[in-house]
Amino acid sequence: MKINKLSYLISLSLIGALNSSAEACSALIVGKSASNNHSMFIARNEDFGDNNWAKHLVYHPSEEPTAKEWNLGDGLVIPMPKKLYAYSALPDWDAKESNKEGKYFEERGVNEFNVALSATNSADVNEKANKVDPLVKNGLSEALIPSIILPQIKTAKEGVELLGKYLKDYGASEGNILYFADEKEIWMMEIGSGHHWIAVKVPDDAYVMVANALRIHNVDLDSPDVLHSEGLYEFVEKNKLLDNPNKKSFNFAKAFGVLGDTYNTHRVWLGQKMLSPSIKQSENEAIYPLFQKPDSPIDITKIKQVLSADFNGTILEKDGKRPMRVERQLETHIIEIRPEKPKALQIVTWQSLGVLSESLVVPLYSTMTKYPNSFVMGTDQYDPNSAYWQFRSLTTLANTNAQKYYPFIHKNLAVEQKDIIERFNQVDKQLSAIKAVPMMKTKSADFSVKELNHAYDFAKSLNSKIMTDLTKMSEGKKYTEKEQKAILTLPKE
């Protein structure tokens, strides 16, 4: 995830620094045989340096630009593609103001060819690697990658290769980890220096837990399931980035990254403990297995639990450095790729706003081209008409009386989340039976719009109940248990 805009611009000018990240974001990638329904998942929390930063749902239609150059706003200028494919995105509220010619921090999306991208997890670059292949001031960054790559690719692998070409030509301004997926496969890509990168195809029967450190290790550089920058092995060998580099068991994370930082390793340990409890591991390993197999199939609910997790009830309850749940979380996306479904229904993005543990993941079909007003508005100032702010306010209000309001919020959200999933499963079956593709697209998009509106109204009702209760408490009057329960009871629909 990103740093804030001011810090981003400062970091570009201070390229001597090893990493411009704010050390944010956690991700979980799931292969289709590791899931409960033969779906693939790329899921990530987008964390930030501030608690108040709205995100907007956006759809970019396809276009044929007439300009010859693409000015991306941070000093990077590239040839303008002749054709830009349609894609969905999730930019910051001030993206257009920050750069009228670019689209900053779009974070995730699905294009018209059903290729999904989540970008990025920020990652440190070690001093030695940065010295021999420095990060590039005006190179590729998280702020730009989705906007450049998604509208140009037709497969996940093509996404890796295209980004690799741009990195060769223009370099990278920061270390990053990102994920491409299509109906066939998932590719995890890591950028470890100004021009060197690696990507691995995620096995069908495994998952990957990622924090803010490079993870790819013990991979065969000659395998068809591994892609990498030109001359990677020779570069590492020549510059002694590894003591004994091995092509058949290559350690990209050690060569270019920073290992053993508990800020990162504690999260990976926690995620693997939750998904593979039968595997006993120390909580302080320098690096954990890249690919792990779950004890039981992974579903949407489990992914939400993992990306909402803290260290409560674990050995790290007192000393854990940084869990998945942080209150500077802006949104979470869980992109589900379903190869066995009709093309129009193959990808569903389960989207939340605000802190995931106090939010709902809402199913958005990739057929959507328009979004409710409440999901395309909001800034860094509170706005009750903004969906982001309605969900973010739940965490804020809960902190006024954590013992009272967190249980109230979590209980009601759990019930509503279950209902959302049940409604989705029922409607999804009906949509899959529709023969006419235009009707399938229209009805699926309409369903997602309805669910977004419902989620906004639900968050608003929770906020209203808590505000009413807080106001009542200020009266100085003592309420009976029955009266208190009535105040905090949601109306039945």
Output the pTM of the full model. 0.93
Catalytic residue list: 25
Both structure tokens of 383: 């706005």
DSSP annotation of 46: E
Residues 65 and 1: their CA atoms lie apart, in Å, by: 29
Q: What are phi and psi of 418, to 5 degrees?
A: -60, -40
Q: Is 490 exposed, middle or buried (0-12, 13-18, 19+ CB in 10 A)?
A: middle
pLDDT at 1: 57
pLDDT at 57: 98
Residues 255 and 229: their CA atoms lie apart, in Å, by: 14
Residue extents of the structural domains in the chain: 5-340, 402-487
Q: Do strands 329-337 and 362-365 pair parallel, antiparallel, or not at all (unpaired)?
A: unpaired
pLDDT, tens digit only, all 493 positions of the chain:
555 444 443 343 333 334 434 457 999 999 999 999 999 999 999 998 888 999 999 999 999 999 999 988 778 999 999 999 999 999 999 887 655 555 579 999 999 999 999 999 999 999 999 999 999 999 999 999 999 999 999 999 999 999 999 999 999 999 999 999 999 999 999 999 999 999 999 999 999 999 999 999 999 999 999 999 999 999 999 999 999 999 999 999 999 999 999 999 999 999 999 999 999 999 999 999 999 999 999 999 999 999 999 999 999 999 999 999 999 999 999 999 999 999 999 999 999 999 999 999 999 999 999 999 999 999 999 999 999 999 999 999 999 999 999 999 999 999 999 999 999 999 999 999 999 999 999 999 999 999 999 999 999 999 999 999 999 887 766 777 787 777 778 766 5
Residues 48 and 23: their CA atoms lie apart, in Å, by: 9
What angle do helix axes 300-307 and 402-432 make, rounded to 10 degrees? 150
3-state class of 282 per DSSP?
coil
* Residue type at position 443: K
Contacts of 259 (CB under 8 A, 6+ apart): 213, 253, 286, 287
pLDDT at 480: 79
How many C-alpha atoms does 147 have within 13 Å on its Cβ side? Answer: 25
Whether 171 and 194 have beta carbons less than 8 Å apart is answered as: yes
Both structure tokens of 168: 């060769």
pLDDT at 455: 99
Whether 175 and 191 have beta carbons less than 8 Å apart is answered as: yes
Q: Helix-strand-coil percent breakdown of the chain, rounded to 5?
A: 35, 20, 45
Residues 368-399 as b/e (b if ≥16 CB within 10 A, e otherwise) read beebbebbbbbbeeebeebbbbbbbbbbbbbe
Residues 163 and 146: their CA atoms lie apart, in Å, by: 10
Q: Which of 309, 361, 359, 360 is nearest to 335 (CA)?
A: 361
CA distances from 48 to 54, 146, 196, 360 (A): 11, 18, 26, 19
Q: Which of 4, 131, 144 is nearest to 78 (CA)?
A: 144
* Residue type at position 101: E
Whether 185 and 202 have beta carbons less than 8 Å apart is answered as: yes
Q: Which of 431, 449, 447 is nearest to 342 (CA)?
A: 431
pLDDT at 124: 96
Q: Which of 251, 154, 263, 259 is nearest to 200 (CA)?
A: 251
**Residue 84, strand partner residues:** 63
Residues 316 and 146: their CA atoms lie apart, in Å, by: 35
Residues 177 and 387: their CA atoms lie apart, in Å, by: 28
- The architecture that CATH gives domain 5-340 is 4-Layer Sandwich (3.60)
End-to-end CA distance of the chain: 38
Whether 135 and 15 have beta carbons less than 8 Å apart is answered as: yes
Q: Which of 306, 369, 289, 325 is nearest to 43 (CA)?
A: 306
How many C-alpha atoms does 7 have within 13 Å on its Cβ side? Answer: 13
Whether 88 and 97 have beta carbons less than 8 Å apart is answered as: no
Residues 213-248 as b/e (b if ≥16 CB within 10 A, e otherwise) read bbbbbebebeeeebbbbeebbebbeeeebbeebeee
